[in-house]
């Protein structure tokens, strides 16, 4: 007989429960409840039972949750230990009765105990995670480029003194990780990519053979021969009537470590014969892209949304690890209903470093822990949040001081979904 969700145990799974847990995940995500043996093997091989949670109603798994270790780049390039949360689902028959709340509380308590500085996730829907102390900390933008409108001359692709080569997947798995290591240290909001990311994104590991289209991989080398850009893209082989090639090239991933490589790779993509539309995929919200085109209006913004959500678990380490362009002092009252990171903190920061200590001084700015995450990666304005009633100035001008300290000239970006 099925039991009330409040009476179900929430616990990590065992090895033998991995297939049922994956089927429950598929059910919760409205994919087919049938999962192929190949997918069970590939997904299952990546699951550490001690970092999972589940609820079972008799024999049926009805809730899934998983976390894994990740590094998140803070402002200034330091890598912080993150508890990355993924595969969250509660089966439709058991929703809205607290199962997610219970799984989240267990996972965040374990992450805090381990010493993780933050927890991270990408949210399926905006309203789910704010209640657990997460705040949207990085955004994504996707553009659709109308190539004939760009003003670029297709027959004369812009080059610099470097070169572009097409390489195969084996080569990408060899050279990609080192490029990504350099890339991610320069991009607050970027996250670590393990071997598995490279295997899954180059077809070496597949959930389903039928769904894989091998991309083209274009590597850019600078004049000195250093690899400073990598673009993976596919094209759709679409032809219009009158024998007109009308192909759409979709970028799967494009990372660079120099603006020059960025410019050359986008111009290369816009110079491909037969391609009249380029879809950018996930880009930084302040990407250079539209302005790399003589007519930036040729790039139409088709998606703008939050991607990376952050939950601060250790305020002192989070604020001390990042860098600050200006000097200042701020006393923050951080409100955390879960009791993990709340309290009053005094931040004294400047270009030479920062110190954050607990204090009993009068607070200047009061804010929920989720709003602190939104400010921490440099993307949001405290003045704007004050106008929205999401942070409260206890001392006039405190939000402006927070902006001068915390905001950054470039916006954070998380290129990966997890």
CB of 65 to ligand ACO, least distance (A): 8
Place of tokens 């028959």: 93
- 24-31 long-range contacts (CB < 8 A, ≥24 apart) are 24/54, 24/60, 24/61, 24/62, 24/63, 24/64, 24/89, 24/91, 25/64, 25/87, 25/89, 27/89, 27/91, 28/63, 28/64, 28/89, 28/90, 28/91, 28/92, 29/89
Residue 35 labelled as part of a binding site: no
Residue 10 labelled as part of a binding site: no
Residue 89 labelled as part of a binding site: yes
Task: Rule CB under 6 A: say whether 123 interacts with ligand ACO.
Answer: yes
Residue 245, SS3 per DSSP: strand
Q: Which residues pair with 145 in a beta bridge?
A: 278, 299
Contact 33, 27 (CB under 8 A): yes
Residue 150 labelled as part of a binding site: no
Q: Taking CB under 6 A as the criterion, which residues in 11-40 touch ligand ACO?
A: 28-29
CB of 54 to ligand ACO, least distance (A): 12
How far apart (Å, rounded) are the C-alpha atoms in residues 313 and 334?
A: 11
Q: Which of 296, 276, 277 is nearest to 287 (CA)?
A: 296
Identify whether 216 is a catalytic site residue: no
Choosing from 129, 217, 268, 345, the catalytic residue is 129
Which is closer to ligand ACO, CB of 98 or CB of 157? 98
Q: In the structure encoding, which two tokens stand for residue 369, read together?
A: 């822990």
Encode burial over 175-185: b for 16+ CB neighbours within 10 A, e otherwise: ebeebbeebbe
Binding residue (CB under 6 A) for ligand ACO from 24, 55, 74, 88: 88
Task: Rule CB under 6 A: say whether 76 interacts with ligand ACO.
Answer: no
Task: Rule CB under 6 A: say whether 54 interacts with ligand ACO.
Answer: no
∠71-74-79 over CA atoms, to 5°?
A: 35
Which is closer to ligand ACO, CB of 107 or CB of 228? 107
Sequence-distant (≥ 6) Cβ neighbours of residue 37 within 8 angstroms? none
How far apart (Å, rounded) are the C-alpha atoms in residues 72 and 397?
A: 31
CB of 198 to ligand ACO, least distance (A): 22
CB of 171 to ligand ACO, least distance (A): 32
Which is closer to ligand ACO, CB of 97 or CB of 174? 97
Q: In the structure encoding, which two tokens stand for residue 45, read together?
A: 């091989």
Binding residue (CB under 6 A) for ligand ACO from 31, 97, 114, 300: 97
How far apart (Å, rounded) are the C-alpha atoms in residues 1 and 290?
A: 58
How many residues make contact with ligand ACO (CB under 6 A)? 22
Which is closer to ligand ACO, CB of 235 or CB of 307? 307
Identify whether 418 is a catalytic site residue: yes
Which is closer to ligand ACO, CB of 124 or CB of 305? 124
Sole window of 67-75, 118-126, 294-302, 334-342 interacting with ligand ACO (rule: CB under 6 A): 118-126
Sole window of 54-62, 121-129, 358-366, 377-385 interacting with ligand ACO (rule: CB under 6 A): 121-129
Task: Rule CB under 6 A: say whether 108 interacts with ligand ACO.
Answer: no
How far apart (Å, rounded) are the C-alpha atoms in residues 10 and 94?
A: 13
Which is closer to ligand ACO, CB of 100 or CB of 382? 100
For the annotated catalytic residues, the residue numbers are 129, 418
Q: Which residues are annotated as a binding site for acetyl-CoA?
A: 88-90, 96-101
Q: Which residues are annotated as a binding site?
A: 88-90, 96-101
User: Where do contacts with ligand ACO occur on this chain (CB under 6 A)?
Assistant: 28-29, 85-90, 95-101, 121, 123-125, 127-128, 131
């Amino acid at each position: 007989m099925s039991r009330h969700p409040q009476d179900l145990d929430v616990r990590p799974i065992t090895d033998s429960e991995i297939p049922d847990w994956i089927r429950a995940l598929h059910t919760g995500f409205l994919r087919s409840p049938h999962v192929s043996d190949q997918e069970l093997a590939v997904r299952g091989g990546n699951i550490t039972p001690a970092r999972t949670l589940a609820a079972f109603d008799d024999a049926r798994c009805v809730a899934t949750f998983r976390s894994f270790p990740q590094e998140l780049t803070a402002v200034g390039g330091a890598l912080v230990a993150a508890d990355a949360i993924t595969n969250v689902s509660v089966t439709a028959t058991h929703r809205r009765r607290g199962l997610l709340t219970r799984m989240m509380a267990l996972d965040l308590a374990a992450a805090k105990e381990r010493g993780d500085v933050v927890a991270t996730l990408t949210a399926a829907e905006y309203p789910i995670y704010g209640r657990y102390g997460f705040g949207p900390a990085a955004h994504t933008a996707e553009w659709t480029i109308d190539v004939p409108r760009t003003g670029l001359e297709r027959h004369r692709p812009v080059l610099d003194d470097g070169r572009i080569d097409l390489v195969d997947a084996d080569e990408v798995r060899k050279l990609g990780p080192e490029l990504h290591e350099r890339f991610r240290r320069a991009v607050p909001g970027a996250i670590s990519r393990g071997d598995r990311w490279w295997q899954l994104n180059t077809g070496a590991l597949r959930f389903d053979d039928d769904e894989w289209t091998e991309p083209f991989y274009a590597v850019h080398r600078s004049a000195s021969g250093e690899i400073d850009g990598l673009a993976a893209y596919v094209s759709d082989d679409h032809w219009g009537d009158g024998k007109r090639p009308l192909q759409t090239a979709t970028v799967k991933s494009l990372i660079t470590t120099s603006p020059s490589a960025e410019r050359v790779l986008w111009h290369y993509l816009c110079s491909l014969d037969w391609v009249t539309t380029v879809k950018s995929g996930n880009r930084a919200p302040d990407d250079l892209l539209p302005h790399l085109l003589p007519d930036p209006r040729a790039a139409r913004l088709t998606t703008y949304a939050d991607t990376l959500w952050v939950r601060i678990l250790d305020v002192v380490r989070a604020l001390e690890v990042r860098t600050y362009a200006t000097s200042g002092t701020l006393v923050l009252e951080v409100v955390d209903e879960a009791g993990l990171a709340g309290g009053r903190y005094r931040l004294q920061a400047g270009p030479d470093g920062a110190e954050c200590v607990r204090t009993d001084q009068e607070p200047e700015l009061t804010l929920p822990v989720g709003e602190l995450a939104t400010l921490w990666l440099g993307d949001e304005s405290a003045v704007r949040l004050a106008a929205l009633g999401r942070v409260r100035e206890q001392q006039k001008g405190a939000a402006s001081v927070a902006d001068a300290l915390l905001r950054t000239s470039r916006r954070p970006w998380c290129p990966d979904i997890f």
